[in-house]
Amino acid sequence: MSMLSPSADPYAVKSHGALSLEAELGFLKAEQPGPDPMALTPALLYLDNITVSFDGFRALNALSLVIGEAEMRAIIGPNGAGKTTMMDVITGKTRPNQGVALFAGTNDLTSMDEAAIAQLGIGRKFQTPTVFDMHSVEDNILLAVKADRRPFANIEWNPSRHERERVEELLERVRLKDSRHRRAGDLSHGQKQWLEIGMLLAQEPRLLLVDEPAAGMTDQETADTAVLLREIAKTRSVVVVEHDMQFVRDLDVKVTVLHEGSVLAEGPLDQVSADDRVIEVYLGR
């Protein structure tokens, strides 16, 4: 069986869905020696040779990254490494100067606007939670369930049975069932983060981008968030940018280290944290 891998990915990702397109585009690489057990999923997100320049400064420099279906990946790296810029490219906020960004095989993210990319099923959670403080937890989730991505979706306020069931599922999933009647503004910081994750899940994203979820959380909330994201990643792909190394350890997933706009190292946390280059530019500081 043919194996594919982007130029900077040492892992052999089985990329069945994107095979013919990548072959057409000329990305077919040589046979890899053997499958990597951490990467036996079809590619959902495929970035290759992405460069973003701001007035000549390369915030991303020939960045390549592949995320599989239902894979969670942690992205770490020093300030200014390009983590936010990478998320901005994936969500269409920033256009790369060069490179390929494909989603689910055939969707060229570099030619789509932010709304169209969200519609494809890419959800983004920023560091600061944005929930409707004056509304109850339950109503926040219901509003998100109502914000159906399909055109001509029902805009009646009275929730249907299906919508009620969905709200229950989501409240359960993000551990907020007991807080359903509380004002969102009265939740703890960690609970607000979970509420926003629940609102994003209401949109059924195939890929969830999460920016520093553990920042400002208590130790218990941080540990619970790792469990929550691991549950979510059973059925969806998740990319988590994080500086909290204990949280990254709890996620227990493949880690990509960015530095100066490129991938510096990739692999299990124990492996990358023993890498001299990673220690020098990030962990050893």
The number of residues that bind ligand ATP (CB under 6 A) is 10
Cα separation, 154 vs 133, in Å, equals: 25
Residue 5 or 84: the one with the smaller Cβ distance to ligand ATP is 84
Q: How many residues does the chain have?
A: 285
* Only segment of 79-87, 156-164, 171-179, 273-281 that touches ligand ATP (CB under 6 A): 79-87
* Only segment of 19-27, 81-89, 173-181, 266-274 that touches ligand ATP (CB under 6 A): 81-89
Q: Please count the CA atoms within 13 angstroms of the CA of 118 that sit on its side-chain side.
A: 16
Residues 57-76 that bind ligand ATP (CB under 6 A): 59
Sign of the alpha-carbon dihedral angle for 6, 11, 12, 18: negative
238 and 232 in contact (C-beta within 8 Å)?
yes
What is the DSSP annotation of 89-142?
HHTTSS--SEEEEEETTTEEGGGS-HHHHHHHTEEEE-SS----TTSBHHHHHH
127 near ligand ATP, rule: CB under 6 A: no
Kind plus residue range of the DSSP H or E element containing 229: helix 219-232
82 near ligand ATP, rule: CB under 6 A: yes
Describe the strand order of the beta sheet including 107-108 as a list of residue ranges. Answer: 57-68, 43-54, 98-103, 107-108
* Only segment of 16-24, 77-85, 128-136, 214-222 that touches ligand ATP (CB under 6 A): 77-85
236 — alpha (psi -120 to 50), left (phi > 0) or beta? Answer: beta
Residue 191 or 262: the one with the smaller Cβ distance to ligand ATP is 262
Residues 83-112 that bind ligand ATP (CB under 6 A): 83-85
Cα separation, 209 vs 160, in Å, equals: 29
Residue 95 or 164: the one with the smaller Cβ distance to ligand ATP is 95
Residue 106 or 127: the one with the smaller Cβ distance to ligand ATP is 127
54 near ligand ATP, rule: CB under 6 A: yes
80 near ligand ATP, rule: CB under 6 A: yes
Residues 244-283 that bind ligand ATP (CB under 6 A): none
Residue 79 or 158: the one with the smaller Cβ distance to ligand ATP is 79
237 near ligand ATP, rule: CB under 6 A: no
Nearest to 200 by CA among 125, 120, 103, 92: 125
Residue type present at position 170: L
| Min dist. Cβ of residue 240 to ligand ATP (A) | 13
Residue 83 or 166: the one with the smaller Cβ distance to ligand ATP is 83
* Only segment of 3-11, 80-88, 107-115, 268-276 that touches ligand ATP (CB under 6 A): 80-88
258 and 77 in contact (C-beta within 8 Å)?
yes
| Min dist. Cβ of residue 237 to ligand ATP (A) | 20
89 and 96 in contact (C-beta within 8 Å)?
yes
List residues binding ligand ATP (CB under 6 A).
54, 59, 77, 79-85
